[in-house]
């Protein structure tokens, strides 16, 4: 969890106070949104782009959570809770388990467009919320929250955190049109949106729950490995079993380094890396505790 002070309610909820955003803050949102929208056509999965359109999260400025929450609630029963920053794990999981997405309210400064360590409102709303309009993904996120509460009790948060990292934050999905992005950490990052699909260097491996849970990750650079799902139903089905025996099984197996390949990996070969892309990640760095 991050430094979020001591004077918050038990669920760390705050008011967004949308009317208090400055014109400069709205202008930064517009800059980020317009740049990312251009990049994501043909790179983001159709479900994300559909959700973005249906939500009406547009380039005009920072969205009002009250209006956004009404649209989201009508679609999938999810709502948005304003929070001051990263919240304790049990609070975070409880929000998800109750179909509430905790979102920060602040937006990065103009000189931070390309890199930000903490999640801001652009990452949380533009990166995460559009997919919550998809019924299957919405159920996956709720199941993840329920699983998180169990994992805390079982002492296996690290393994479950890797599942969040490699799916919700940095997941890729195979579509009929080719490889696409659904992970929010990528979707809110200009550099990684291109890198994850087009760079030759990272591994792209077919999703395997145990493999994901054993794999370490980088928090301050582009990912060295991405896991590719077939569809969101596969992801939801993977969270259906009781994880307790799976945790027991992988507890005796070694962790896998972020850039490693193992003999059982099924590489995704549809990607057509066409050009190298350098540059730093725009977006956020997550703490292991948060995810």
Residues that bind Fe ion (CB under 5 A): 184
Beta-carbon count within 10 A of 23 CB? 8
- 3-state secondary structure (DSSP) of residue 196: helix
Q: Closer to Fe ion at the Cβ: 122 or 207?
A: 122
- 3-state secondary structure (DSSP) of residue 283: coil
Q: How many angstroms separate the Cα of 278 from the Cα of each of 31, 103, 115, 141?
A: 21, 29, 14, 32
Q: Closer to Fe ion at the Cβ: 116 or 213?
A: 116
- According to DSSP, the residues that pair with 79 across neighbouring strands are 100
d(Cα 123, Cα 282) in Å, to the nearest integer? 10
Q: Which residues contact 261 (CB under 8 A, 6 or more apart)?
A: 203, 205, 267
Minimum distance of Fe ion from residue 184's CB (angstroms): 5
* Number of separate helices (H) and strands (E) present in the chain: 12, 6
Minimum distance of Fe ion from residue 277's CB (angstroms): 22
Residue spans of beta strands (DSSP E) within 124-276: 172-175, 178-181, 203-206, 225-229
Minimum distance of Fe ion from residue 248's CB (angstroms): 29
Closest residue to Fe ion: CB criterion: 184
Minimum distance of Fe ion from residue 286's CB (angstroms): 6
Q: Closer to Fe ion at the Cβ: 115 or 246?
A: 115
Q: Closer to Fe ion at the Cβ: 76 or 184?
A: 184
Q: Closer to Fe ion at the Cβ: 36 or 184?
A: 184
- 3-state secondary structure (DSSP) of residue 45: coil
d(Cα 127, Cα 189) in Å, to the nearest integer? 9
Give the chain's radius of gyration (CA, Å).
18
d(Cα 150, Cα 229) in Å, to the nearest integer? 24
Q: Closer to Fe ion at the Cβ: 232 or 247?
A: 232
Minimum distance of Fe ion from residue 291's CB (angstroms): 8
Minimum distance of Fe ion from residue 122's CB (angstroms): 11
């Amino acid at each position: 969890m991050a430094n979020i002070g001591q004077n918050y309610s038990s669920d760390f909820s705050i008011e967004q106070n949308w009317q208090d955003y400055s014109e400069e803050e709205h202008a930064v949102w517009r800059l980020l949104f317009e740049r990312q929208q251009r990049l994501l056509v043909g790179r983001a999965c159709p479900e994300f782009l559909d959700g973005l359109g249906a939500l009406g999260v547009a380039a005009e400025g920072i969205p009002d959570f009250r209006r956004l929450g009404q649209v989201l609630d009508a679609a999938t029963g999810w709502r948005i809770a304003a929070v001051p920053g990263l919240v304790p794990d049990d609070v975070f999981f409880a929000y998800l388990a109750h179909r509430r997405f905790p979102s920060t309210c602040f937006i990065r400064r103009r000189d931070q467009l390309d890199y930000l360590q903490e999640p801001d409102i652009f990452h949380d709303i533009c990166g995460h919320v559009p997919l919550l309009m998809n019924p299957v993904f919405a159920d996956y996120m709720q199941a993840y929250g329920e699983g998180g509460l169990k994992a805390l009790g079982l002492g296996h948060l690290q393994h479950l955190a890797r599942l969040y990292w490699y799916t919700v934050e940095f997941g890729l999905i195979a579509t009929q049109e080719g490889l696409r992005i659904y992970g929010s950490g990528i979707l809110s990052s200009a550099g990684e949106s291109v890198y994850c699909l087009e760079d030759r260097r990272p591994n792209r491996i077919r999703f395997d729950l145990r493999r994901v849970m054993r794999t370490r990750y980088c928090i301050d650079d582009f990912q060295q490995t991405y896991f590719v799902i077939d569809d969101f139903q596969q992801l939801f089905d993977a969270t259906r079993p009781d994880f307790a025996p799976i945790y027991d099984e992988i507890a005796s197996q070694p962790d896998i380094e972020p850039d490693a390949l193992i003999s059982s990996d099924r590489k995704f070969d549809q990607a057509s890396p066409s050009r190298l892309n350098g540059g730093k990640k725009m977006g956020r760095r997550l703490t292991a505790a948060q995810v």
